[in-house]
């Protein structure tokens, strides 16, 4: 049977991301050899596509940010929808805990305790710790005891080691936590809203009000995941310039994607009903990217009648910060590699698309195509933009083709224009961060000029981890363990 493995879908699925990337890299060379004009058209189209996309993205980012500011001004204290519809709505927040310091965990719980919400008695926080890390359970027990009279329920659930069918991943921990809690109390799946947030998260005061108002005003409420707004502000000034750019870039990317509802995906901090969790068979117990995969699990559970709802509830988180710059670079790289490991979704999505007969073929084609292209551009888009203008010069000399001379110059000019637009996200990032972090005069200067490093980071810290993920997947060198980003002790704020 070994010789027939080359004819199986299982063999070729892991190869798709890297093979697609290689094909697109060589495509301009192939086209220009087949037909010179066709090759030039492809090069012009590719450059034009990214130029339009960059400028279009700024419009969508500003639109999302404007909505966030509007929600910030909204008074939910007398919201009729919450008053009348949320009395029987249970909120469960799962906080997976591993090796984080006690004051990081406690800051998370304090932020939840200090939220302003009409039905606080309906809030339960599950501190999901791992049996293999005894100190985490000690921290959780301390916090449970300290805040037992806070007005919300706080429960510690310890995830046992080496359960069958599980990996050492976040999804196995949070799945065990909610399943155990279901054994403790009777829950209405349609009126139980389950949020999962990282340990370093500090939620805003209107967190539950924003979620509840969004949830109650949504049709087919269970057929959705509600994506919150991640903002890496907790240790903003302590972080390195590249960690800050990656962190705020993640927030801006969420703003952008929220304006593209068909292809929007959940990330890091989000919520869904217990009914939706049942449809998805909870979370993946083996994948290190359980958040992105959760969309697909729920999508197929609901036979394609599913979407992501942007929910502008701010979740302040930590950017990557280690004890030295070298360790910070290494941890940041591993985090980006973990995120880009979502390229493995093709192994789950394509077979499910084939099996499911209720999803229209056109939608299957669009969704699968976008999934592949998204990871293709993540790994190779910036690199291809860098060299594509020189393709005519590689095939033809300047004497043979005027394009061999003019295309690289035109590409260089366009690339320079695109790079100069970093002034837009640099100013926007300052406007966003100063609302959550104290800025002094020198912070404005440094936070503005740090964006000059964006082109270099795009070609290195963004592209290379994604490229490694696809190479690993191709050769079956899998990342099975969750590399937890080290969290530093919280620094006490000066008065």
The three state secondary structure string of the chain is CHHHHHHCHHHHHHHHHHHHHHHHHHHHHHHHHHCHHHHHHHHHHHHHHHHHHHHHHHHHHHHHHHHHHHHHHCCCCCCHHHHHHCCCCEEEEEEECCCCCHHHHHHHHHHHHCCCCCCHHHEEEEEEEECCCHHHHHHHHHHHHHCCCCCCEEEEEEECCCCCCCCCCHHHHHHHHHHHHHHHCCCCHHHEEEEECCCCCEECCCHHHHHHHHHHCCCCCCCEEEEEEEECCCCCCCCCHHHHHHHHHHHHHHHHHCCCHHHCCCCCCEEEEHHHHHHCCCCCCCCCCHHHHHHHHHHHHCCCCCEEEEEEEEEECCCCCCCCHHHHHHHHHHHHHHHHHHHHHHHHHHHHHHHCCCCCHHHHHHHHHHHHHHHHHHHHHHHHHHHHHHHHHHHCCCCCCCHHHHHHHHHHHHHHHHHHCCHHHHHHHHHHHCCCCCCCHHHHHHHHHHHHHHHHHHHHHHHHHHHHHHHHHHCCCCCCCCCCCCCCCCCCCCC
226 - beta bridge partners? Answer: 271, 309
What angle, 0 to 180 degrees and rounded to 10, lies between the N-to-C axes of helices 345-355 and 16-34? 90
- Residue 368 backbone phi and psi in degrees, to 5: -70, -40
- CB-facing half-sphere around the CA of 85: CA atoms within 13 A: 16
**CA-CA distance, 406 to 409, in Å (whole number)?**
5
What's the confidence (pLDDT) of residue 386? 83
Within 10 angstroms of residue 126's Cβ, the number of other Cβ atoms is: 23
What's the confidence (pLDDT) of residue 401? 61
**CA-CA distance, 18 to 366, in Å (whole number)?**
19
**CA-CA distance, 410 to 57, in Å (whole number)?**
22
What angle, 0 to 180 degrees and rounded to 10, lies between the N-to-C axes of helices 134-146 and 102-113? 30
| pTM of structure | 0.94
Structure tokens at 48: 């034009």
> Are the C-beta atoms of residues 76 and 86 closer than 8 Å to each other?
no
pLDDT means per 10 residues in the chain (495 residues)?
71 95 94 87 90 92 95 92 95 96 96 96 98 96 97 97 93 98 97 97 97 97 98 93 94 93 91 98 95 96 97 96 90 94 96 97 96 94 85 65 70 83 93 94 92 91 95 92 72 51
Structure tokens at 25: 């890299």
Residue 149: exposure state from Cβ atoms within 10 A (0-12, 13-18, ≥19): exposed
Would you say the C-alpha torsion 161, 167, 173, 178 has a positive or negative sign?
A: negative
The contacts of residue 201 (CB under 8 Å, 6+ apart) are: 95, 108, 111, 269, 315, 316, 317
The contacts of residue 434 (CB under 8 Å, 6+ apart) are: none
Residue 471: exposure state from Cβ atoms within 10 A (0-12, 13-18, ≥19): middle
- Polymer length of the chain: 495
What's the confidence (pLDDT) of residue 494? 43
């Amino acid at each position: 049977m070994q010789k027939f493995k080359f004819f199986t879908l299982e063999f070729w699925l892991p190869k798709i991301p890297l093979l697609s990337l290689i094909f697109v890299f060589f495509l301009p060379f192939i086209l220009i050899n087949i037909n010179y004009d066709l090759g030039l058209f492809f090069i012009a189209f590719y450059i034009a596509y990214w130029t339009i996309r960059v400028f279009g993205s700024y419009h969508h980012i500003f639109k999302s940010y404007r909505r966030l500011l509007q929600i910030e001004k909204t008074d939910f204290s007398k919201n009729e929808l919450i008053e009348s519809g949320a009395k029987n709505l249970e909120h469960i927040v799962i906080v997976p805990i591993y090796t984080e310091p006690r004051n990081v965990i406690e800051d998370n719980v304090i932020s939840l305790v200090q939220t302003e919400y009409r039905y606080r008695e309906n809030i339960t926080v599950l501190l999901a710790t791992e049996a293999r890390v005894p100190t985490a359970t000690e921290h959780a027990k301390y916090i449970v005891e300290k805040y037992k009279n806070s007005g919300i329920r706080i429960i510690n659930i310890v995830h046992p080691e080496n359960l069958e069918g599980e990996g050492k991943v976040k999804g196995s921990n949070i799945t065990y936590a909610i399943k155990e809690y279901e054994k403790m109390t009777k829950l209405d799946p349609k009126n139980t809203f389950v949020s999962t947030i990282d340990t370093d998260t500090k939620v805003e005061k209107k967190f539950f009000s924003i979620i509840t108002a969004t949830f109650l005003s949504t049709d087919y409420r269970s057929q959705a995941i509600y994506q919150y707004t991640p903002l890496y502000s907790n240790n903003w000034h302590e972080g390195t310039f590249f960690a800050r750019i990656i962190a705020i870039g993640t927030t801006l990317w969420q703003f952008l994607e929220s304006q593209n509802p068909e292809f929007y995906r959940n990330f890091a901090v989000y919520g869904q009903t217990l009914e939706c969790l049942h449809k998805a068979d909870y979370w993946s117990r083996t994948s290190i990217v359980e958040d992105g995969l959760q969309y697909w699990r729920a999508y197929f559970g609901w036979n394609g009648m599913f979407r992501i709802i942007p929910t502008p509830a701010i979740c302040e988180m930590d950017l990557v910060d280690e004890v030295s710059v070298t360790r910070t670079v290494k941890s940041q790289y591993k985090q980006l590699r973990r995120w880009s490991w979502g390229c493995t979704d093709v192994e789950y999505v394509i077979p499910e698309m084939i099996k499911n007969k209720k999803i229209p073929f056109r939608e299957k084609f669009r969704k699968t195509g976008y999934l592949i292209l998204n990871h293709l551009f993540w790994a190779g888009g910036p690199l291809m933009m860098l060299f594509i203008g020189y393709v005519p010069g590689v095939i033809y000399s300047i004497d043979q083709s005027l394009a061999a001379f003019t295309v690289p110059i035109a590409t260089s000019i366009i690339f320079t224009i695109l790079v100069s637009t970093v002034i837009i996200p640099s100013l926007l990032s300052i406007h966003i961060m100063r609302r959550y972090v104290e800025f002094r005069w020198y912070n404005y200067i440094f936070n503005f000029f740090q964006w000059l490093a964006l082109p270099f980071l795009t070609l290195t810290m963004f592209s290379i981890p994604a490229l490694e993920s696809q190479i690993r997947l191709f050769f079956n060198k899998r990342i099975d363990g969750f590399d937890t980003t080290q969290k530093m002790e919280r620094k006490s704020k000066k008065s």
